[in-house]
Amino acid sequence: MLKLFYNDKPESNLLEVKDYHMVWQRTPTKPNPSSFYKVLNELGIDFDWSDNPDSSVVVADLGSAGLVDDETCNNMFKTLSERYKKVLIYSGQEPWNANIIREYVLKYPNLYFMDTTTFNLGQDKNYFPFPSLFCQMSSNDMCTTLNYHNGIDYKNVGYKFNCLMNIWRPEKHFLRWALNFVGIDQEGIITYRNPGEKYHDIECHLEKSSAPPTYKNLLLNQSTVSQKRVLEDYNIDEVELSVPKRKFDVNFRVWPEEVFTASAFSLVCESSSNFTNQDRYVSEKFIYPVMNEHPVLTMGDQYYNVMIKKLGFELHDEIFNYGFDTIESMPDRALALAEQIRDLDINSILSKTADPNSETRKKLRHNKYLIFNKGSILWTKMRLRMVQYLEELQY
C-alpha cells in the first residue's frame, strides 16, 4: 500500500510559514495543513501514514505559493534535498513557470514538482503536472462551492457575458482592454484590477503582435492606470450563507447566483502556464461555470480549448467559433476573441440555452457530469496518472 510520510503528525504539512511565507496557514487548530492527501481521497487512492521517509512518499505542500528563484526558495529546496531521498514539491493551486522548474531540477535532481497544469507528459524531467483543482472543487473537505444550476432558467438575462478577473496578469490585461477596444465592455459583468504600474511583460508580448497600433497603444497606456472594478459595481453583493458574508477565496469558491442568471455565458481568462510544449492550466474560473451548467468560452494559452476537448469536455461550437484559439500572439488572440463576442447575438445564444433539449443544454449536462461523476473518463485519467507518479516517487 502507498504510504505518505508525516513529519509531525498525519495530515500536517512538511513546510511551515517560517520556511516559505506563502505556505498555507489557515486556522489555530490546523496551522500547518496539507491538501495533498485530500486529493488522494477524492481520487479513491488508498494510502497509510508513515514516519519513515525512506519507505514513503515525502510531500512538501507549497499551497498557493508561486515558484520563484530567490534565496528563500533555494534554501528551502536545498534543505529538503539534503534531508530526503525524494521529495514532491506540490501546489494544488498554481501553475509554475517551466524555466524555473527546470533550473531547480538541475540543481536538485531528487526533487519532483507537481503544479496544476494538466497531466499530459512532456519532456521535462521530474515534472509531474496534475489538475488538482478538479479534486478540490468537487470536495467539501477542501472548499465550499454552491451549485445554482437548478435555479438558472437562462431567460432573465441582462448581460451578454460575465468575465471575473482579479489579480493582474498580462493575459487579463489584454482581454480586459480588447473588450474595451471593440466597444463591448459595458455588455458584460467584468471585474478587473490594474497593477498600478507599468509591466514590461506587456511590451514583450506586443513585439510579436500584428494588431492595429491604436489597440497596442491602448494596452500600453492602460498598463499605468490604477483601476478596479468589482461585483458591487453591478449591485451584485457578496454571498450570504448561514455564516457572515464571505468573499471568493481559495477555500470559498462561491460566486453570487446573479453572475450566472444575469449573463448569457461565462467568459473565462485562464492564466498562462508558460509550458509552451505541454498542456494548459485549468482553474476554478473554468470549473465553476461548468459545475453550474453555464456556457463557457475560454481564452488561455494557445490551443487551450484543444486541451479542454482532450480532457473530455464538449466545446460549444454551436455558439462560438474557436479559431482564435490557434493564434500565437496573446494580445492578438484576445482581440480576435473580443471581436467575435461583439458580433454574437445574445438572443440566439439564449434560444439555445433556454431549450432543455437543445444541443447546448446536452453539452452543459455532459460537461457537468465529467466533473461530478467519479467514474467519468476525466476522473479515470486523473486516477491512473496520479498512481503512475506515486509509484515513481515511492520506489
**159-164 and 263-269 beta bridge pairing:** parallel
Is 369 a domain residue?
A: no
**59-61 and 188-193 beta bridge pairing:** unpaired
> Do residue 221 and residue 87 come from a single domain?
no
> Do residue 168 and residue 317 come from a single domain?
yes
Is 359 a domain residue?
A: no
Element (DSSP H or E) covering residue 4: strand 2-5
Is 365 a domain residue?
A: no
C-alpha cell at position 310: 482532450
> Do residue 26 and residue 158 come from a single domain?
no
Task: Specify whether the CB–CB gap between 270 and 299 falls below 8 A.
Answer: yes
- The CATH number assigned to the domain holding 54 equals 3.40.50
The b-or-e profile of 70-98 (16+ CB within 10 A means b, else e) is eeebeebbeebbeebebbbbbbbbbbbbb
Q: Indicate the SS3 state at residue 63.
A: coil
Q: Report the distance separating Cα 187 and Cα 189, nearest Å.
A: 7
Indicate the number of domains in the chain. Answer: 2
Beta bridge partners of 168: none
> Do residue 121 and residue 174 come from a single domain?
no
> Do residue 161 and residue 302 come from a single domain?
yes
Please give the order of strands across the beta sheet that includes 159-164: 228-229, 188-193, 159-164, 263-269, 296-299
> Do residue 94 and residue 207 come from a single domain?
no
pTM, 2 dp: 0.89
Q: Indicate the SS3 state at residue 181.
A: helix
Task: Specify whether the CB–CB gap between 170 and 202 falls below 8 A.
Answer: yes
Q: Give backbone dihedrals phi and psi of 347, rounded to 5 degrees, phi first.
A: -70, -35
Give residue 322's domain range: 146-354
Q: Report the distance separating Cα 374 and Cα 81, nearest Å.
A: 35
Q: Report the distance separating Cα 293 and Cα 360, nearest Å.
A: 10
Is 360 a domain residue?
A: no
> Do residue 40 and residue 131 come from a single domain?
yes
* Tens of pLDDT, residue by residue, the chain (395 residues): 899 998 878 888 877 655 554 555 444 445 467 889 999 999 999 999 999 999 999 999 888 777 888 888 898 899 999 999 999 999 888 888 888 888 999 999 999 999 988 865 556 789 999 999 999 888 888 888 888 877 788 887 999 999 999 888 889 999 999 999 999 999 999 999 877 665 667 888 898 899 999 999 999 888 777 778 888 888 888 787 766 677 766 677 788 999 999 999 999 999 876 554 455 788 899 999 999 999 999 999 899 999 999 999 999 999 999 999 999 999 999 999 999 999 999 999 999 999 999 999 999 999 999 999 999 999 999 999 999 999 989 87
